[in-house]
Structure 1
Amino acid sequence: MRIRPSWDTFCTGPLYQPFVDAIGQMRSDWDATKPQDWAYWVDVHKNFCPHGRTYFLAWHRGFLYRFEEMLREVSGVNEMVLPYWDYYTHPQVPPQFLDTSSPLWRKQRTGDDVSGALSMDPFADTVTNFQRGTSNAFETLLETAPHNPVHNLIGGAMGDVAISPRDPLFWVHHANIDRLWLAWFDAGGGRHMPKAYKPYWQGDFEYGAAVATVPRVWARNPQRYMLYDYENDTMPSTLPSDPPPSTSTATAAAFSLSPARIGAVPMRPASVQTTPAGSAQPLALDEHSVTVDVPLSSTQTNQVRSLLIKPAASEATSAPTPLRLVLDGVQLTKLGLKGGYLYKIYLNLPDTAGVQKPERAYLLGMLGPFEITVAQMKVAMQGKGMQAMQDMQAQGAKGRPDTRFEFPLTDALRNNWPDQLDTLSISFVRVNGRRHPAKGDAIHLKSVGVEVDN
C-alpha cells in the first residue's frame, strides 16, 4: 500500500527531487507515441477524457494510476507516488511551482490563488448519491466546484481542456480531486456508489495504445485494487480562513482573494441592459461584474407562478427545463483564452450585503474558459473525430465553434421568490485568480435571454 502525501509533506521529503527530475525528463522530449514523454499523456487526456459525462472521476482515477506508474519507471524510484495539492488548506499555488528554474513552472499561468474556486456543496450531508444523473450527485457537484474553477483560476494550459495536462499543476490538482472522492465515500453517512457487480463498472478505461487499460471496477475501490491511499482522507469541513498579514509584497500579491468571502452572497452588480423574457441580446463580459434585468409580461408572470407551485422535477431527466437562462454563441476572446478568471452566475441577488441565505440559494452555475473549451471540444468532435479537435486547438481563439449553455432557473427562483414577480435579475459576478487581472473582454455571448415554456 502506497500513501500519496500532501504537497507540503512531499516537498520536504526524499521523493521530491526525483519527482522534479522525472518531470523535467518527461517534459524535455515531445513524442506523443511514447508514454515516457509528456506529450503522450496530454494527448491521452485530449482523446479520451469524459468531462461533463459519466465516469469523469473514475476515468481520471485510472489516468493518475497509470501516470504514477510511469513516474516510477522514469525516476527509477519504486516508492514514487503522486502528491496532492490540498487547496482547501492552502489555496495559493505552492511556491515550488512558481520557481522559473524548475520543471514545475509554466509561464502561461494567469492566476496563483484558487480561493474563489472552492465550495462545500459536494460534502453536504444530503449529498449521498454518487452517480451522475441521479439527484444531487456527488460526481456532478465535485466537477462543478472545485474541479472546473481551479482550472479556470490557474489559467494558461490549465484553462483549456485539450492541453491542461501540460501544466504539472494538473497532476497535483487531480490527485486532490481523487482524494476528495475517496474521502467522501469513506465518510459514510449513507454515501454510496454503484455496487461492484453492477453494469456501471463493467468494461475497461483506455489510455492510449502504449498503456494498459484499467478495469472500471478498480476505480471503485483503489485501496483494494490499486493499493494506494492518501495521507489525509477526510473531507474538508470549512473553507480556508483569512491568510496572515505579510509585509512581503510578493507574498501579499499571492493572496488575490479574501478567503473569508468565499461562499458569501455578493451584492447585485449594476445592470448593463434590459432583455425581456423570450428575447435575447448580445453581451460582452470583461473584468467587471454585471447584471442583466429580464422583465416578465403578465402572461409570463402567470406561467412562472404555475411552474413554481408544481412539484420539483427529477434532476435525472434530460428534457429541457421549462424556465431557463440561455447563453448562445458563447466564445472566448484571445484574452479570455488565457484564463485566470471565472464568472459565477446568480439569480435575483440582494441589493444589500449581509444576507443570511447560503450562496447556493442564488447560484445558477459558473462559466469560464474551462467550461467553454469542454463545450467546444464536444461540438468540434461531433461527426468529425479528433482531427477537428486538433484543428481547433491550432487556431487558438479564432475559428472555435460557438457553444450554448442552459441553466435551469426554477429551483433558484423557488429559493428567492421576490415580492413582485415581474423582473428576473441575472448577475455575472467576476472571480479572479490574481489580485491584478488583465482588463478587457474575456467572453462574448451572441445572445443572453430567459426562455419560458407554456
Structure 2
Amino acid sequence: MISRRRFLQSSASLALLPLVPGVVRSADTVVRTRPSWQTFCTGPLYEPFVNAIGAMRANRGTTTPANWGYWVDVHVNFCPHHSPYFLAWHRGLLYRFEENLRAVSGIPDMVLPYWDYYSHPQIPPEFLDTSSPLWRKERTGADVTEALSLDPFADDVINFQRGSGNAFESKLETAPHNPVHNLIGGAMGDVAISPRDPLFWVHHANIDRLWLAWFEAGNGRHMPRAYQNYWDGSFQYGDAVDQVPRVWARNPSRYMFYVYENESMPTALPPSEPPPSTSTATASATTLSSFRSPGTAPLRPATVQSTPLGVSQSLVLDEHSITVDVALTTQDAGQVRSLLLQPKTVQADASADPLRLVLDGVQLTALGARGGYFYKVFVNLPRQAGVNQPERSYLLGMLGSFEIGVAQMQAAMQGKGMQGMKGMPAATGKPVRFVFPLSEALRDVWPTDLDTLSISFVRANGRSKPNKGHTIHIKSLSVEAGN
C-alpha cells in the first residue's frame, strides 16, 4: 500500500479536495493514483482509456504524439536497455505517454494503470478480446509466471546502479522485465517494436511501481545522487515531446505527482502448475522447473554435448532443456580453483570476469523471433533432488528473443551512441555475443567435484503448448579462464 511518507510528500500537507477516485487536489498541485489493472478496468476511466488507445492506433503516421507509431519510434531511437538509467528513462517515457493519453481522451485525470503480474500472472482478459484495441494477434504466450523473480527485492540488494554489485536496476531488468517481454512474444518479444503492444505500457507501469516499492522499503536501499554521472545521457522522447529533467525521472514523488495504488514489494511468487503433458520426454526436457517450489533451483537437464575448457562448441536450442558439460583436466581444475580463491571484485564488464561463459554468433530463427519462451542459463545445477539452494545461486542470466534484440541494438550503437539506434529495423537478424560471468555463481555453490563445469539452458514457456523446432543458433559456446 502507499506509505504515509509518500502520501505526505505528494499532498504537501495541504487541504485536499478529492474530485474523482484516485485524484487528490490542493491549491497548487494534483496528485494522481495509478491503479492496478483489476481496479482500473471496473472504473469510469476504462472505456475512455480503450477509446484513446484505439484512436492512437487508428491514427497512422509517426510525426505527432497522437500517433501510436510515434511512441514506437521514440522507444527504439532513444531507450537505453542494459545500460545506466534504463529505469529512469522509461519513467519519463510513461510520464509523457500518460500526458498524451489525457490529451487524446480529453480527460485531464486520465492515468496509466499497471499490470501486477505477481498477483495476476495471466494476461488480463480485456487484452484478449479480439474486438478491442488492446488486442494483438501475434502474441504467443498468455501467462508470465515463469518470468517472475524475487531476487531484486532481497534484503542484500541495496545498491541501485548496475556495476556496483548486487544492483537493483540490473536485477529488475533481468527478471521480471525481460522475461515478461519474452513470454508474451510477438511485438513484445522484439525490443525494436515492443511498444506496439498495449501490454507494453501496463507492463512498464508495473516495472516503475516495483522500483518505487523497492526504494520505499528502505533498510539501506539507495540510489545515486541526482548530480552523479550515472544519470548522464539523453532523456529525449522525440521532437514533438519535451525532454524530462533527470531529477524528475529519479524522484517522481517530488516532481511528477503520482502514486500507485500499491507500493509494496512482492513477497511471494505465484504457484507453478504442472504442465498439461506428463510424458517422460516432456517432463524431463521442457518443464523441469514446473515441479518445484517457486524460487528453488531445477534439476540439471540431461547432458547433450561435451567440450573441453577453452574450446568452442556450436549449439542449437529448441523446445527442450539441455546441458553442455565442459570437461576439466586436473590442470584446468587447479586453475579454476585458483581463480575462485582470488578476492572477490565487482566487475562492471562481464568480459573482465576471470571465469566466463562466452556465447558467440547468437542468432534467432524465424520461430525463435516469435517469442513465447526463454531460457534460464545456469551453472552446475544439482543432479538430484534434495539440494535446497535457491535458483539465484546457480543463475547466470536469461536468453530469449528480447535479450538478443537488446544485444543487436547495443551492437548498432557501437561508436555511434543513440544515433546508431535510429531507424533500426525490427529483427535485424545479425549474430551477437553474450558473456556471462561465472565466478560469483560458482563461489556461491562451491563445487566439490571439479571434473566438469555444467552449463544448463532450462526452457521456460508461457503456459501454452511450446512450438517445436529450433529457436536460437549459437555458433560458438565456450568457457574461458584467465585474462
TM-score normalised by the shorter chain: which range applies?
over 0.9
Q: CA offset at residue 264 of structure 1?
A: 2.2
Q: Describe how 1:9-408 pairs up with structure 2 within 5 A.
A: 9-201=39-231, 205-241=235-271, 261-316=293-348, 320-383=352-415, 393=425, 396=427, 400-408=429-437
Q: Which range moves more in the overlay, 442-451 or 376-385?
A: 376-385
Quick one: structure 1 residues 377 and 425, their matched pair in 2 at CA, closer, same or farther if it must change by over 3 Å? same
User: Which whole-Å CA distance do the structure 2 matches of 1:410 and 1:381 have between them?
Assistant: 29
User: Which whole-Å CA distance do the structure 1 matches of 2:318 and 2:232 have between them?
Assistant: 45
Would you say the 8 A contact 2:85–2:231 is kept in 1? no
User: Which whole-Å CA distance do the structure 2 matches of 1:371 and 1:46 have between them?
Assistant: 14
Would you say the 8 A contact 2:185–2:370 is kept in 1? yes
Q: 1:250: which partner in 2?
A: none
User: Which whole-Å CA distance do the structure 2 matches of 1:417 and 1:142 have between them?
Assistant: 26
User: Which whole-Å CA distance do the structure 2 matches of 1:102 and 1:354 have between them?
Assistant: 48
- Give secondary structure in 1 for the equivalent of 2:425: helix
Q: Which range moves more in the overlay, 43-52 or 128-137?
A: 128-137
Q: CA offset at residue 354 of structure 1?
A: 3.3
User: Which whole-Å CA distance do the structure 2 matches of 1:242 and 1:446 have between them?
Assistant: 33
Corresponding letter in the other structure for 1:406? V
Write out per-residue CA displacement over residues 183-204 of structure 1, whole angstroms, 9 at most, x where no aligned residue. 1111110111123444545776
User: Which whole-Å CA distance do the structure 2 matches of 1:126 and 1:418 have between them?
Assistant: 23
Matched, 1:2 2:35: no
Corresponding letter in the other structure for 1:313? T
User: Which whole-Å CA distance do the structure 1 matches of 2:325 and 2:394 have between them?
Assistant: 15
Q: 1:415: which partner in 2?
A: 444
When the two structures are aligned, how many residues end up with a matched partner?
Answer: 442
Would you say the 8 A contact 1:348–1:424 is kept in 2? yes
Quick one: structure 1 residues 355 and 400, their matched pair in 2 at CA, closer, same or farther if it must change by over 3 Å? same
Would you say the 8 A contact 1:271–1:291 is kept in 2? yes
User: Which whole-Å CA distance do the structure 2 matches of 1:127 and 1:385 have between them?
Assistant: 30
The alignment's TM-score, normalised by the length of structure 1, stands at 0.93
Quick one: structure 1 residues 198 and 377, their matched pair in 2 at CA, closer, same or farther if it must change by over 3 Å? closer
Quick one: structure 1 residues 437 and 64, their matched pair in 2 at CA, closer, same or farther if it must change by over 3 Å? same
User: Which whole-Å CA distance do the structure 2 matches of 1:317 and 1:382 have between them?
Assistant: 15
- Give secondary structure in 2 for the equivalent of 1:32: coil
User: Which whole-Å CA distance do the structure 1 matches of 2:314 and 2:457 have between them?
Assistant: 14
User: Which whole-Å CA distance do the structure 1 matches of 2:398 and 2:350 have between them?
Assistant: 20
- Give secondary structure in 2 for the equivalent of 1:143: helix
Percent identical residues? 68
Q: CA offset at residue 236 of structure 1?
A: 0.5
- Give secondary structure in 2 for the equivalent of 1:406: strand
Quick one: structure 1 residues 431 and 295, their matched pair in 2 at CA, closer, same or farther if it must change by over 3 Å? same
Gapped regions of structure 2 (runs ≥ 5)? 1-30, 275-286
Write out per-residue CA displacement over residues 237-274 of structure 1, whole angstroms, 9 at most, x where no aligned residue. 11123679xxxxxxxxxxx9959643221111111111
- Give secondary structure in 1 for the equivalent of 2:202: helix
- Give secondary structure in 2 for the equivalent of 1:448: strand
Matched, 1:439 2:468: yes
Would you say the 8 A contact 1:202–1:217 is kept in 2? no
Q: CA offset at residue 388 of structure 1?
A: 7.1
User: Which whole-Å CA distance do the structure 2 matches of 1:335 and 1:316 have between them?
Assistant: 33
Q: CA offset at residue 419 of structure 1?
A: 2.8
Over the residues paired in the alignment, what is the CA RMSD in angstroms? Answer: 2.3
Quick one: structure 1 residues 199 and 366, their matched pair in 2 at CA, closer, same or farther if it must change by over 3 Å? closer
Gapped regions of structure 1 (runs ≥ 5)? 245-255
Quick one: structure 1 residues 408 and 197, their matched pair in 2 at CA, closer, same or farther if it must change by over 3 Å? closer
Corresponding letter in the other structure for 1:170? F
Quick one: structure 1 residues 193 and 390, their matched pair in 2 at CA, closer, same or farther if it must change by over 3 Å? closer
User: Which whole-Å CA distance do the structure 1 matches of 2:263 and 2:291 have between them?
Assistant: 23
Corresponding letter in the other structure for 1:263? G
User: Which whole-Å CA distance do the structure 2 matches of 1:351 and 1:142 have between them?
Assistant: 29
Would you say the 8 A contact 2:190–2:402 is kept in 1? yes
- Give secondary structure in 1 for the equivalent of 2:353: coil
The alignment's TM-score, normalised by the length of structure 2, stands at 0.87
User: Which whole-Å CA distance do the structure 1 matches of 2:38 and 2:415 have between them?
Assistant: 45
User: Which whole-Å CA distance do the structure 2 matches of 1:406 and 1:199 have between them?
Assistant: 25
